[in-house]
Amino acid sequence: MSIDRQAIVAAIARLNAAAQRDFEMLNDADGALGDGDLGITLSRGMELIAEITDDLPDDLGKTLLQCAQAFTKSSGSSYGTLMATGLMAMAKALKGEISIAPDRVSELTALARDAMQARGKADLGGKTVLDSLDAVAQATAGQNDEAAVAKAASQAVDDALDAFRNTQATIGRARMFGEKTIGMDDPGMLAMRTIVKALAG
């Protein structure tokens, strides 16, 4: 099976539902280490994407570009901008394609990760959404079966949370909390778990 417009439309419905479901959880997690708006940012962004689902073109590049724009509109919070950045990077790579195989997931995730890293001027290992993406890119490398990719990605976001839980945040608002962040999950990594699990279906 391959990833096309129809698969994306179906995924958007799952993403939107998951974002609304985790609204409070993400706001609370961000409230503990930041300004408490991450649930709002994610759900609002997904809502805006859901609104344009019917008009999405077959060209996957254009489709992802429109999804990116929805995120740039939603708010000025970091996560929305990073998501838009990642989506735009993938959009550029997919320009003109209407269907791709699951073995491209790793490469595309890595592209998003790198673009977001450049945008946020942050290193890997800082306990951010970048570390979740990095884990996904690595875990899905070399896989070309859709179910295997989904399973690996899903496992990777959990593993990333476990791996970073007891480290100290050094980036974004959470940095100001210093040692207090040890033992706490990064809100952006939690949000990426929500996203990846919804995509995995």
Partner 1 sequence: MKKLLNEPVDYVDETLAGLTAAHPEYYRLYGDTGRVVARATETAEGKVGIVTGGGSGHLPVFTGYVGKGLLDACAIGDVFASPSAEQMADALRVADRGAGVLRLYGNYGGDVMNFDMAGDLVDFEDIQCTTVLLADDVASASLEEREKRRGVAGMVYAFKTAGAAAEAGQDLTAVTAVAQKTADACRSIGVALGPCTVPQAGKPTFTIADDEMEIGMGIHGEPGMRRGKLLPADDIANEMMDRLLEDQALSSGDRVSVMVNSLGATPPEELYILYRTVQARLEATGASIFMPLVGRYATSMEMSGVSFTVCKLDDELEALLQAPCDCAFWRVG
Ligand X SMILES: Nc1ncnc2c1ncn2[C@@H]1O[C@H](COP(=O)(O)OP(=O)(O)O)[C@@H](O)[C@H]1O
Q: Which residues bind partner 1 (CB under 8 A)?
A: 35-37, 69, 72-78, 80-82, 84-85, 88, 119-121, 172, 176
Q: What are phi and psi of 100, to 5 degrees?
A: -130, 160
Range 93-152, binding ligand X (CB under 6 A)? 120, 122, 128-130
CB 165 within 8 A of CB 183: yes
Which of 45, 86, 102, 188 forms a contact with ligand X (CB under 6 A)? 188
Residue 200 CB, shortest distance to ligand X, in Å, is 20
Contact call for residue 176 and Mg ion (CB under 5 A)? no
- CB-based contacts of 83, cutoff 8 Å, min separation 6: 45, 68, 71
Which partner from the list partner 1, ligand X, Mg ion, none does 87 bind, CB cut-off 5 to 8 Å by kind? none
Radius of gyration of the CA atoms of the chain, in A: 16
Contact call for residue 134 and Mg ion (CB under 5 A)? no
Contact call for residue 61 and ligand X (CB under 6 A)? no
- Euclidean distance between CA atoms 119 and 42, whole angstroms: 18
- In 10 A of CB 69, how many CB atoms? 17
Contact call for residue 37 and ligand X (CB under 6 A)? yes
DSSP 127: S
CB 62 within 8 A of CB 7: no
Closest CA to 39 of 174, 200, 201, 191: 191
- Euclidean distance between CA atoms 189 and 45, whole angstroms: 17
Which partner from the list Mg ion, partner 1, ligand X, none does 61 bind, CB cut-off 5 to 8 Å by kind? none
CB 134 within 8 A of CB 177: no
Of the pair 134, 186, the CB lying nearest ligand X is at: 186
Of the pair 8, 48, the CB lying nearest ligand X is at: 48
Residue 189 CB, shortest distance to ligand X, in Å, is 6
Which partner from the list Mg ion, partner 1, ligand X, none does 16 bind, CB cut-off 5 to 8 Å by kind? none
Q: Which stretch binds ligand X (CB under 6 A): 4-12, 83-91, 102-110, 183-191?
A: 183-191
Q: What are phi and psi of 123, to 5 degrees?
A: -85, 160
Contact call for residue 79 and ligand X (CB under 6 A)? yes
Binding site for ligand X (CB under 6 A): 30, 34-35, 37-38, 41, 77-79, 82, 120, 122, 128-130, 171-174, 186-189
